[in-house]
Amino acid sequence: MSSAAPTNIAGQKHALPSYLNADNLGPWGIYLQQVDRVTPYLGSLARWVETLKRPKRALVVDVPIELDNGTIAHFEGYRVQHNLSRGPGKGGVRFHQDVTLSEVMALSAWMSVKNAAVNVPYGGAKGGIRVDPRTLSHAELERLTRRYTSEINIIIGPSKDIPAPDVNTNAQVMAWMMDTYSMNSGSTSTGVVTGKPISLGGSLGRHEATGRGVFVVGSEAARNIGLDIKGASVAVQGFGNVGAVAAKLFHEAGAKVVAVQDHRTTLFDPAGLDVAAMMEYAAHSGTIEGFRGEVLRTEQFWEVDCDILIPAALEGQITARNAPLIKARLVIEGANGPTTPEADDILRERNILVAPDVIANAGGVTVSYFEWVQDFSSFFWTEEEINQRLVRIMQEAFRAIWQVAQDNKVTLRTAAFIVACSRILQAREMRGLYP
Ligand code: NAD
């Protein structure tokens, strides 16, 4: 299998996602390139590297539902378990019109790497349905979620594979998934998903966890390059669960959030945007469009004068086209896969530090792990305990990766992959091949 092309086991049959362009080979192709970059550093474990280039299991399911108007609609759903060597699969479920098997495969692989990078005892998995959920009523969305859960029921479970929210899925969707799984298995099984409502075994701190992790990793990285958060200027792409919380925490630490972009608009204020008021505004209107601030053209976002840039929206956003324009000294990847490999090279040549997704946005899965542990023990921790443990795990993981980057003179992304892939392949080697 050539790793330069976006090869996958089935994805070519699907419509290409809209973010694909000349300098983006597609998520699975990008992931394969990242594995190739790390292989020379794996020593004798490189013998097993092919394991990382193939998902262990990929389930494609038909999800038929009756629409409110009485017609039957069919949607394509996926659950991919990339690697289960270190523990059960863990990763979100995405409802989006551009979801493809290739994308879900890549996201599941990044989950394997992320879980190993922060050393939570999980393999990597991801799921999705190719659907625009905004076209469905609440009742249709519930039927879709329940039928999808039933279809993937055979491979998920609290000790097999534990889904969580991702783009366009939330605590309500997790509650329906938990209920459907429990109904099928005959007993209430809260540990089958994370990101649940608090009333159903969800964890305090989960909602803010990914943004908090972005802040913790960003603060560590900033300190290491002599950048003071207090007074630093920050630009954030995406003002959802990850971007808005990260913006809030940087603002509270004394940084100025000078630019925010969402799917509708780009706002700029060199004196600093009012993040708290913008969060309230976005909570009501679903967008930051119309909030006070100078409106920039979409592409101008990447040229904004700032110290820290946080892509927290979608994959493939920092490309060979806009990477040369970026002014920031530090990029913290809140989104999964926001930087193409070509852009990664450009940023490295320009001496811009990238805190990669697999560590920077691992706060969410870390608190998901806490949720799962709490569900198993039916004993719940305080938010303070959760945040303290989160900060400790993220700081330790980042410092270990930083050291590997220094020792091997490689980027933080390659260092994170070295740490993570070594852990996964060590587990593979110790377990041995069955039969
Ligand atoms: P979300 O749906 O809450 O927010 C997404 C934000 O991105 C919205 O503000 C939306 O307007 C904006 N956006 C969408 N398209 C855009 C575009 N073309 N240009 C600019 N902005 C755009 O999603 P989220 O949960 O914040 O996730 C964002 C990213 O972080 C995704 O890549 C996701 O996989 C990743 N992530 C999320 C979590 C989590 O816990 N939520 C954990 C790890 C990684």
CATH number for the domain spanning 279: value is 3.40.50.720
**What is the predicted pLDDT for the residue at 25?**
62
Q: Has 230 been annotated as catalytic?
A: no
Is residue 80 within 8 A of residue 108, CB to CB? The reply is yes
Domain contains 289: yes
Q: Is residue 336 classed as helix, strand or coil in its secondary structure? A: coil
Question: How many domains in the chain?
Answer: 3
Q: Is residue 60 classed as helix, strand or coil in its secondary structure? A: strand
Per-residue pLDDT of the chain (435 residues; tens, 9 = 90+): 334 444 444 444 344 444 434 344 678 888 888 899 999 999 999 999 999 999 999 999 999 999 999 999 999 999 999 999 999 999 999 999 999 999 999 999 999 999 999 999 999 999 999 999 999 999 999 999 999 999 999 999 999 999 999 989 999 999 999 999 999 999 999 999 999 999 999 999 999 999 999 999 999 999 999 999 999 999 999 999 999 999 999 999 999 999 999 999 999 999 999 999 999 999 999 999 999 999 999 999 999 999 999 999 988 899 999 999 999 999 999 999 899 889 999 999 999 999 999 999 999 999 999 999 999 999 999 999 999 999 999 999 999 999 999 999 999 999 999 999 999 999 999 999 999
Nearest CA to ligand 1 atom 18: 263
Instruction: Say if residue 30 is in the same domain as residue 8.
Output: yes
Instruction: Say if residue 339 is in the same domain as residue 264.
Output: yes
CA of 317 to the centre of ligand 1 (A): 12
Q: In what order do the strands lie in the sheet with 233-237?
A: 294-296, 266-268, 256-261, 233-237, 308-311, 330-332, 353-355
**Ligand 1 mutation pick, 262, 279, 287, 295, max ligand atoms within 8 A of CB:** 262
Domain contains 153: yes
Instruction: Say if residue 211 is in the same domain as residue 355.
Output: yes
Query: Domain span at residue 63?
Result: 55-187
Please tell me the distance from the alpha carbon of residue 425 to that of residue 413, in angstroms, as a whole number: 18
Nearest CA to ligand 1 atom 17: 263
CA of 366 to the centre of ligand 1 (A): 18
Instruction: Say if residue 239 is in the same domain as residue 307.
Output: yes
Atom of ligand 1 nearest to the CA of 94: 34
Nearest CA to ligand 1 atom 1: 240
Domain contains 213: yes
Atom of ligand 1 nearest to the CA of 334: 30
Instruction: Say if residue 212 is in the same domain as residue 178.
Output: no
Q: Is residue 289 classed as helix, strand or coil in its secondary structure? A: coil
Amino acid letter, 392: R
Domain boundary pick from 325, 360, 395: 360
Instruction: Say if residue 122 is in the same domain as residue 228.
Output: no
Domain contains 375: no
CA of 263 to the centre of ligand 1 (A): 10
Give me the helices (H) in 97-230, please. Answer: 101-117, 138-152, 171-185, 206-224
Domain contains 197: no
Domain boundary pick from 53, 70, 87: 53
CA of 167 to the centre of ligand 1 (A): 6
Assess whether the previous peptide bond of 435 is cis (omega < 30° from 0): yes
Nearest CA to ligand 1 atom 35: 335
Instruction: Say if residue 282 is in the same domain as residue 315.
Output: yes
CA of 87 to the centre of ligand 1 (A): 27
**What is the predicted pLDDT for the residue at 27?**
84
**Ligand 1 mutation pick, 196, 242, 257, max ligand atoms within 8 A of CB:** 242
Domain contains 242: yes
CA of 183 to the centre of ligand 1 (A): 31
Please tell me the distance from the alpha carbon of residue 192 to that of residue 330, in angstroms, as a whole number: 37
Q: For residue 339, what are the β-bridge partners?
A: 318
**What is the predicted pLDDT for the residue at 7?**
41
Instruction: Say if residue 354 is in the same domain as residue 215.
Output: yes
Instruction: Say if residue 172 is in the same domain as residue 216.
Output: no
Instruction: Say if residue 18 is in the same domain as residue 121.
Output: no
Domain contains 199: no
Domain boundary pick from 125, 158, 187: 187
* CATH for 122: 3.40.50.10860
CA of 433 to the centre of ligand 1 (A): 38
* Pocket (CB within 6 angstroms of ligand 1): 166-167, 210, 237-243, 261-263, 312-314, 334-336, 361, 364
Amino acid letter, 184: N
CA of 406 to the centre of ligand 1 (A): 31
Nearest CA to ligand 1 atom 32: 335
The catalytically annotated residue of 13, 53, 114, 126 is: 126
**What is the predicted pLDDT for the residue at 148?**
98
**Ligand 1 mutation pick, 196, 260, 263, 390, max ligand atoms within 8 A of CB:** 263
Nearest CA to ligand 1 atom 33: 335
Nearest CA to ligand 1 atom 43: 361
Instruction: Say if residue 233 is in the same domain as residue 299.
Output: yes
Domain contains 201: no
Nearest CA to ligand 1 atom 13: 263
Atom of ligand 1 nearest to the CA of 168: 2
Cα-Cα-Cα-Cα torsion 336, 341, 342, 348, nearest 10 degrees, comes to: 90
Instruction: Say if residue 175 is in the same domain as residue 218.
Output: no
Please tell me the distance from the alpha carbon of residue 330 to that of residue 227, in angstroms, as a whole number: 9
Tell me which H or E stretch contains 209.
helix 206-224
Atom of ligand 1 nearest to the CA of 209: 40
